[in-house]
Structure 1
Amino acid sequence: MKARTRWDVVCTVEDLVADSGVAVWTEDGPVAVFYLPHRLPALFAVSHTDPFTGTNVLARGITGDLDGEPVVASPLYKQHFSLRSGQCLEDDGARVKVYPVLLDGNRIRLEIPVTQAASVAA
């Protein structure tokens, strides 16, 4: 059985900062949305929570490119996370959740899993 999802509006294009991230709140928890205007695709979204510390800091991380892989470096211990896969490049056992992103006019939408409680209420 396929998990149910929906495309939630989390921010607008005006909220984004080039080569940086913004933190947004979703029903699935805090998410970091990154805008890298010199890449295609230019929008990425991963969990905002650093898996090594449990703190919500990844939107404040430094974005970059390691061997062609778009990454964000955690501002705490500097581990690099792929913005495409969520995999930590320094530790095979660590990763962050990745969210599909859609530009809908001026709105940024994320594909978010629908919890059973939310799907019953909807």
Structure 2
Amino acid sequence: MHRTDQARAVELGTPDGRWITVCDARELELDPGSGTAVLLPGGGQAAVFRTATGELLAVGNRDPFAHSWDIADGITGSVDGAPTVSSPLGKRLFDLRTGVCLDDPSRALPVWPVRLRPTG
């Protein structure tokens, strides 16, 4: 994804097959590798990331260990080619594609499919 002036919505897929708009893609184009916390219907949160290669990925924003809403503030990187995020408090590493904690595979973040939709 490259910086443009064209407005595009970031949408997350829901388990029932719907797509929900969560933010404008320009919010994710300013700093590759950073995340943005977004509110979900029903009060939950997701953390949407744009990787250095431009891939958009979304995982739950609640750390399953610290129970804090801060995964979007984590440090991104990669392990064996898989994009990752390190939780801010516990520094546990999560695979952004699967949500699985690489330090403790018994824990995982929920994941959502992500797509871009032109808005104008």
TM-score (norm. length: structure 2): 0.80
Q: Which runs of at least 4 in structure 1 moved beyond 3 Å after TM superposition?
A: none
What is the letter of the counterpart of residue 52 of structure 1? F
Distance, in Å, in 1 between the alignment partners of 2:17 and 2:89 is: 31
Indicate the residue corresponding to 1:59 in structure 2. Answer: 72
Matched, 1:38 2:49: no
SS in 1 for 2:72: helix
Deviation (angstroms), 1:53: 1.1
**1:55-79 Cα distance to aligned partner (Å, 9 max, x none):** 1000000000111111000011110
Q: Which has the higher contact order (CA 8 A, sep 6+)?
A: 1
Q: Unpaired runs of 5+ in structure 1? A: 108-122
- Gaps in structure 2 of 5+ consecutive residues: 1-14
- Measured in 2, the distance between the counterparts of 1:38 and 1:92 equals 26
Give 1:60's aligned amino acid.
D
User: Judging changes above 3 Å, is the alpha-carbon distance between structure 1 residues 24 and 48 closer, same or farther for their aligned structure 2 residues?
Assistant: same
Does residue 68 (structure 1) correspond to residue 60 (structure 2)? The answer is no
Q: Deviations over 1:72-106 (max 9, x none)?
A: 00011110100010000000111000000001126
| Structure 2 match to 1:22 | 36
Q: TM-score when scaled to structure 1?
A: 0.79
Which secondary structure does the structure 1 equivalent of 2:112 belong to?
A: coil
| d(CA) in 2 for partners of 1:24, 1:92 | 25
The answer as to whether partners of 1:21 and 1:32 remain within 8 angstroms in 2 is yes
1:84 is matched with 97
Q: Specify the structure having the higher radius of gyration (Cα).
A: 1
2:61 and 2:67 map into 1 onto residues whose CA distance is: 10
Counterpart AA for 2:112: Y
1:98 corresponding residue in structure 2: 111
Structure with a larger share of its residues in helix: 1
**What is the deviation of 1:38?**
1.4
